[in-house]
Each structure stands twice: as structure tokens, then as C-alpha cells.
């Protein structure tokens, strides 16, 4: 069983709620945010091992949220979710400090594997290192 | 008139691209919901559920169809985005992959199969062209070929580069086309609108017993023709 604390951010409520439930079945502690301001509030209130963030959202874009999160706590790995036409967003996101990006619809095992890599990568970095 | 048609195509492309994006979200929700049901049915407490195996089988089918639908939508989205620009650096391997996905329904009506040869994946062949015009040329060639081969035949697409351009060959995987079939395909590809299309793409088409050979110069097209 996984023990990560994960923040899921996506405006597609049914998608992110169901994904959250599936991750909880696998032992993760999940908090969900449906838009940028809610995500940033959660990010300030709690410590997360990893953030899974949709790139395309109304209002504050995923890339803008990424930038703000990286400014606030650069050590927290962020995995982006992109649509089929948003590969460029994924690449731009990695340039801005995202750990990686996955295309929707996602395979949950692949997402878990990516989360593990992200969390392990964070733990293996020296204290204070990016 | 030409300009108005171009704007119409761009409009259709924009609307289609937006709709495919939304539909992909729908598939994502269906896929996750099916996944959640699978997770619950796999739990030890569900082992005695009387229809467990039938549910799991149905959920596998849903997952397969989600994958299939998502693939089609991805290709349709790429096709729709082809109308974004008059001329772009187009990767031939992407064009033929797109062609394969979007022509599947038409080919299935005659039980035809289509394979992309290894060279397609291996080569990073690009051409400067109007994406929609190029797709229309290849689609017309493929449909003309499909019309002239027997039910259940296998077709193939190969692409490659040469000194001053790129080529794409649409052919039967086994056997050659009969003279009558060659003539019928030529007739389709020599129609007036196709001549204009070839000219705009700086392309040539050669139809012989071994299939349809499309050649494009690297510098490519002068603009769209729709």
C-alpha cells in the first residue's frame, strides 16, 4: 500500500473524484481541488508528497498554478495531465519545473509509477536541493 | 470563394478540435468509472458477488472501447488541427497514421486491412504542405485503391525520402493490380479537382500495377486547395 499524500487538481469533477477514489483504494491520502485558487489554497494549507495537475483549466491555467507552486515550494514534485493536443503544454510545464506529464485518459498504474518516481526522486535529493 | 471555403474549413477544424477534446474528457470519466468498479470487484469482500466474472468481462470490454474511442478522437483532433494553418512542416509518418485511423471505417466496409510498413515509423520524413490538402490527396488515393481490390485484401502504406522530396506508396500487400483497376484509379486521380490539388501540393501521382505512388517536393505546397 502506498502512503503518499497527493493533491489532485482538475476541473472535470467526475473524473478527478473517481480517480481520487481509486487512489484511496490503493492507500493514498487524497485531497481534491477543482480549480486554480482552490488548488493554491490547499497547497498552502497542507504538505503534499506530490501534486497531479491538469494543464487546461478555466480561469487560472495549470501552467500558472505550476509556476506559483514551484515558487512557493519548489521541492514538491508536480505531474501534469494534458489532453491529446497539449503535448506542448507538457513540455513547457517540464521547462517550468514539472516532474513529468501524462496524457489523458491516464492509466492508473502508470500514474502510480510516475508518482513513486517523483517521490523517490525528491527523497534522494540532498536537503535544500532542487 | 476560395478564401471563404478556407475560412469554413478552419471553422470546422476549430469546432471539431474542441468537440474531440470534450469527448476525450467523457471517455476519461467512463474509463475511470469502469476502473473504479473493477477495483471494487477485485476487493476480497466482493469475491462472493454472484455476477463478478460477468461484470469484470463487461468492464474489460468498456475499457477496450474507451481505448479505441480515445485513439480515434486523438487522430480526429490532429486532423482537425490540420486546418489551423495553410502550410506547415508535416511529418509523413503522422499523416499516414492519421490516415489509417480515420479511414478504418471505410476500409472495414470491404473487410480490407491496412498496415504501415516499418519504414513509416523509422523515418522522420517531413514535407512543407497544407495538412488538409495532403490528407485529402492520400485519402482519395487510398479510397481509389480500396475500390479496385478484392474484398478482404490487405493494403499497405510506405513512406520514404529521396533527393529532392518525399514519397508515399499505397499498394496491395500481395499481388499486383490488374490493368483495368490501374485505369480506374488513374481516372479518379486525374479528375479536375485532383489536378488542382496536385498542383497546389507540388505533388505527382503515378499509378501502376504495384499501386499508387505519390511524390512531393520538400519545399512543398503553395497553399490550400479545398
For the cut 50, the answer to whether the pLDDT of residue B224 exceeds it is: no
Asked if B33 and A18 come within 8 Å (Cβ–Cβ), the reply is yes
Q: Which residue do the cell numbers 508535416 mark?
A: B90
Q: Rounded to the nearest 5 degrees, what angle is found at the Cα of B214, between the Cα atoms of B208 and B218?
A: 150
Contact B32 A84 (CB under 8 A): no
Query: What is the per-residue pLDDT across B31-55, written as a single tens digit (0 to 9) for each?
Result: 999 999 999 999 888 888 888 999 9
A29-60 pLDDT, tens digit per residue, is 999 999 999 999 999 999 999 999 999 888 88
- CA–CA distance, B4 with B205 (Å, rounded to integer): 28
The CA distance from A52 to B177, in Å, is 54
Whole-number Å distance between alpha carbons of B225 and A76: 50
- Which residues of chain A are within 8 Å of residue B101 when distances are taken between CB atoms? none
pLDDT, average across residues B96-123:
84
Task: State the best of B15, B18, B25 to mutate against chain A, taking most chain A CBs within 10 Å.
Answer: B25
Query: Which whole number is the average pLDDT over B115-137?
Result: 78
At CB < 8 A and 24+ separation, what contacts does B177-186 make? Answer: B177/B145, B177/B148, B177/B149, B177/B208, B177/B209, B177/B210, B177/B211, B178/B209, B179/B209, B181/B148, B181/B149, B182/B207, B182/B208, B182/B209, B184/B144, B184/B147, B184/B148, B185/B141, B185/B144, B185/B145, B185/B147, B185/B148, B185/B212
Nearest to A15 among B21, B32, B70 (CB): B32
* Peptide bond connecting A105 to the previous residue in cis, omega within 30 degrees of 0: yes
Instruction: Give the DSSP H or E segment for B184.
Output: helix B179-189
B25 contacts on A by Cβ (under 8 Å): 12, 15, 83, 104
Of A12, A25, A105, the CB nearest to B31: A105
Asked if the Cβ–Cβ distance from A104 to B73 is below 8 Å, we say: no
In DSSP terms, B155 is beta-bridged to B114, B172
Contact B28 A22 (CB under 8 A): no
Residue with cell 481505448: B67
Mean model confidence pLDDT for chain B = 87
Binary contact (B25, A15; C-beta < 8 A): yes
Which residue from B minimizes the CA distance to A21?
Answer: B36
Is the pLDDT assigned to residue A21 strictly greater than 60? yes
Task: Kindly calculate the radius of gyration of chain B based on its CA atoms and give it in whole angstroms.
Answer: 21
Mutate to test the interface with B, among A34, A85, A109 (most CBs of B within 10 A): A85
- Contact yes or no for B35 and A15 at CB 8 A: no
Residues of A in contact with B43 (CB under 8 A): 25
Under 8 Å between Cβ of B189 and B138? no
Q: How far is A25 from chain B (nearest CA, A)?
A: 8
- Band of pLDDT at residue B100, cut at 50, 70 and 90: very high
Neighbours of A89 (CB within 10 A): 21
Element containing residue B107 per DSSP (H, E): helix B92-108
User: What is the pTM (predicted TM-score) of this model?
Assistant: 0.81
Mean pLDDT taken over chain A: 89
Q: Do B17 and A85 touch (CB under 8 A)?
A: yes
10 Å CB burial of residue B137 (0-12, 13-18, 19+) is: buried
Q: At what angle do helices B52-81 and B92-108 cross, to 10 degrees?
A: 120
ipTM over 0.90: no
Q: Which residue of A has its CA nearest to B67?
A: A105
Whether residue B2 has pLDDT greater than 90? no
Cβ separation B32–A22 shorter than 8 A: yes
Record the cell numbers describing residue A118, joined without a space: 517523483
| Alpha carbon distance B194, B220 (integer Å) | 16
Q: How far is A72 from chain B (nearest CA, A)?
A: 30
Contacts of range B112-115, beta carbons closer than 8 Å, 24 or more positions apart = B112/B146, B112/B149, B112/B151, B112/B152, B112/B153, B112/B154, B112/B155, B113/B153, B113/B154, B113/B155, B114/B142, B114/B154, B114/B155, B114/B156, B114/B157, B115/B154, B115/B155, B115/B156, B115/B157, B115/B173
Across the A:B interface, residue pairs with CB atoms under 8 Å apart total 52
- Distance (Å, whole) CA B44 – CA A116: 25
In A, which residues are within 8 Å of B27 by CB distance?
Answer: 105
Distance CA A82, CA A62 (A): 10
The DSSP secondary structure of B62-106, one letter per residue, reads: HHHHHHHHHHHHHHHHHHHHGGG-SSEEEEHHHHHHHHHHHHHHH
Over residues B77-102, the mean pLDDT reads 88
Grid cell for residue B144: 481509389
Amino acid at each position: 500500500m502506498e502512503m503518499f499524500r497527493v493533491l489532485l487538481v482538475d476541473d472535470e469533477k467526475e473524473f478527478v473524484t473517481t480517480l481520487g477514489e481509486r487512489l484511496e483504494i490503493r492507500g493514498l491520502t487524497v485531497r481534491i481541488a477543482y480549480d486554480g485558487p482552490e488548488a493554491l489554497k490547499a497547497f498552502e494549507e497542507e504538505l503534499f508528497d506530490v501534486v497531479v495537475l491538469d494543464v487546461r483549466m478555466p480561469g487560472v491555467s495549470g501552467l500558472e498554478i505550476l509556476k506559483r507552486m514551484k515558487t512557493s515550494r519548489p521541492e514538491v514534485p508536480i505531474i501534469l495531465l494534458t489532453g491529446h493536443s497539449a503535448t506542448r503544454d507538457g513540455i513547457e510545464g517540464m521547462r517550468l519545473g514539472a516532474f513529468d506529464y501524462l496524457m489523458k485518459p491516464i492509466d492508473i498504474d502508470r500514474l502510480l509509477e510516475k508518482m513513486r518516481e517523483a517521490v523517490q526522486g525528491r527523497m534522494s535529493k540532498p536537503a535544500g536541493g532542487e | 470563394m476560395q478564401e471563404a471555403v478556407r475560412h469554413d474549413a478552419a471553422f470546422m477544424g476549430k469546432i471539431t478540435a474542441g468537440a474531440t477534446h470534450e469527448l476525450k474528457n467523457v471517455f476519461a470519466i467512463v474509463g475511470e468509472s469502469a476502473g473504479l468498479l473493477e477495483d471494487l470487484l477485485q476487493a476480497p469482500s466482493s469475491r462472493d458477488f454472484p455476477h463478478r466474472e460477468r461484470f469484470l468481462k463487461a468492464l474489460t470490454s468498456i475499457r477496450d472501447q474507451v481505448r479505441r474511442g480515445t485513439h480515434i478522437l486523438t487522430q480526429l483532433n490532429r486532423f482537425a488541427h490540420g486546418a489551423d494553418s495553410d502550410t506547415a512542416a508535416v511529418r509523413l509518418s503522422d499523416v499516414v497514421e492519421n490516415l489509417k485511423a480515420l479511414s478504418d471505417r471505410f476500409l472495414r466496409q470491404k473487410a480490407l486491412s491496412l498496415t504501415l510498413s516499418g519504414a513509416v515509423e523509422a523515418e522522420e520524413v517531413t514535407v512543407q504542405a497544407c495538412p488538409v490538402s495532403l490528407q485529402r490527396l492520400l485519402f482519395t488515393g487510398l479510397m481509389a485503391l480500396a475500390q479496385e481490390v478484392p474484398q478482404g485484401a490487405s493494403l499497405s502504406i510506405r513512406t520514404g525520402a529521396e533527393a529532392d522530396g518525399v514519397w508515399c506508396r499505397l499498394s496491395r500487400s500481395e499481388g499486383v493490380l490488374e490493368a483495368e483497376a490501374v485505369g480506374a484509379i488513374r481516372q479518379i486521380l486525374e479528375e479536375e479537382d485532383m489536378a488542382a490539388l496536385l498542383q497546389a501540393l507540388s505533388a505527382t501521382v503515378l499509378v501502376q500495377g504495384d499501386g499508387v505512388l505519390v511524390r512531393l517536393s520538400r519545399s512543398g505546397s503553395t497553399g490550400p486547395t479545398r
